[in-house]
Amino acid sequence: MSTSAPLDDVLDCLVIGAGPAGLTAATYLARYRRKVMVIDGGSSRARWIPASHNCPGFPFGVAGNDLLQRFRAQADEFAVPIVPTRIDTLTREGGDFVAGDSRHSWRARQVILATGVVDRLPEINDVEQAIASGVLRLCAVCDGYEARDEVIGVLGPGDVVMGHAEFLRTFSRQVTALDSQAGDAPAEALRQRADAGGIVLRGAPVRLTLRDGACHATFADGSCERFDTLYPVLGADAQSALARALHAGVDESGELRVDSSMQTSVAGLYAIGDVVSGLNQISVAVGHAALAATAVHRQLPPNKR
């Protein structure tokens, strides 16, 4: 079920974001017989996943869009309204929260923010195809296993790229770290660390090209290297602005800090999934959702049968 009209009365809980985290939280809350609504901007990170092989319960893998459809069908089953729009403002009025887009506003006793992160991608032709074909991979924890024994490039700044390259040595002997902050000559300390880890270290390529099912990196000196897989580790932008406007606490990368029940430093405002400081994984996101939804239910006035 979907609706584009705001509810007239106060929601028990408004969930912002319909990725794995938000849809799971909404399903839990609906099953606790709470008045819940989901509002979603329609750009879950999970839509990029060609096939996930570490998602619990899917031994033969599952595509991100199929998974999202299943989460959505489950929320639908318990009549959760899902409104397709983007929330621009979140304020407090009296004891409630008021969330708004350019046309409507919604009032809720509690809010769960499940707004995720947006990956910073490198410049490469046909980026969507590069991700769909597994030439560009965005999560070594998710799919390092699928890249085993491939020729792997990792692109990012200094220590960050080296940390990821070291992790990827679990899966392949042929790992090259491309230091996006260095020209032709990466720092000596980084070179020593690369040597110790059995990693090739190079400076930043001037161009990346998707061609013949591989990523071709061209360097300033005219040389070129072919990678079966490139992992960019250029960071991500946490979608935490709504919570930050209410002065919720964040870590150094803008991801939200929460307590053991997933509550931010703002009472009644919960955060779950990738937008929370920690490991960005579907299994973590749905675990967060179960904790937050149950805490929200317990905080609300009893709804006895």
Ligand X SMILES: Cc1cc2nc3c(=O)[nH]c(=O)nc-3n(C[C@H](O)[C@H](O)[C@H](O)COP(=O)(O)OP(=O)(O)OC[C@H]3O[C@@H](n4cnc5c(N)ncnc54)[C@H](O)[C@@H]3O)c2cc1C
Biggest CA pair distance of the chain: 73
Q: Which residues bind ligand X (CB under 6 A)?
A: 16-22, 39-46, 48-49, 52, 54-55, 86-87, 114-116, 119, 131, 138-139, 142-143, 239, 242, 273-274, 280-283, 285
Q: Which is nearer to ligand X, 41 or 197 (CB)?
A: 41
Provide the minimum distance between the beta carbon of 266 and ligand X in the complex, in angstroms, as a whole number: 16
Q: Rounded CA gap, 102 and 242, in Å? A: 15
Provide the minimum distance between the beta carbon of 154 and ligand X in the complex, in angstroms, as a whole number: 15
- Residue 202 exposure: Cα atoms within 13 Å on the Cβ side: 19
**Are 187 and 211 in contact, with CB atoms under 8 Å apart?**
no
Provide the minimum distance between the beta carbon of 305 and ligand X in the complex, in angstroms, as a whole number: 31
Q: Which is nearer to ligand X, 23 or 151 (CB)?
A: 23
Inter-axis angle of helices 20-31 and 282-299, to 10 degrees?
30
Q: Which is nearer to ligand X, 42 or 57 (CB)?
A: 42
Count CB neighbours of 134 within 10 A: 16
Provide the minimum distance between the beta carbon of 164 and ligand X in the complex, in angstroms, as a whole number: 15
**Are 126 and 214 in contact, with CB atoms under 8 Å apart?**
no
Q: Rounded CA gap, 199 and 52, in Å? A: 27
Q: Which is nearer to ligand X, 242 or 292 (CB)?
A: 242
Provide the minimum distance between the beta carbon of 78 and ligand X in the complex, in angstroms, as a whole number: 18
- Kindly state the DSSP code that residue 287 receives in the 8-state scheme: H
Q: Rounded CA gap, 242 and 16, in Å? A: 10
Q: Which is nearer to ligand X, 37 or 194 (CB)?
A: 37
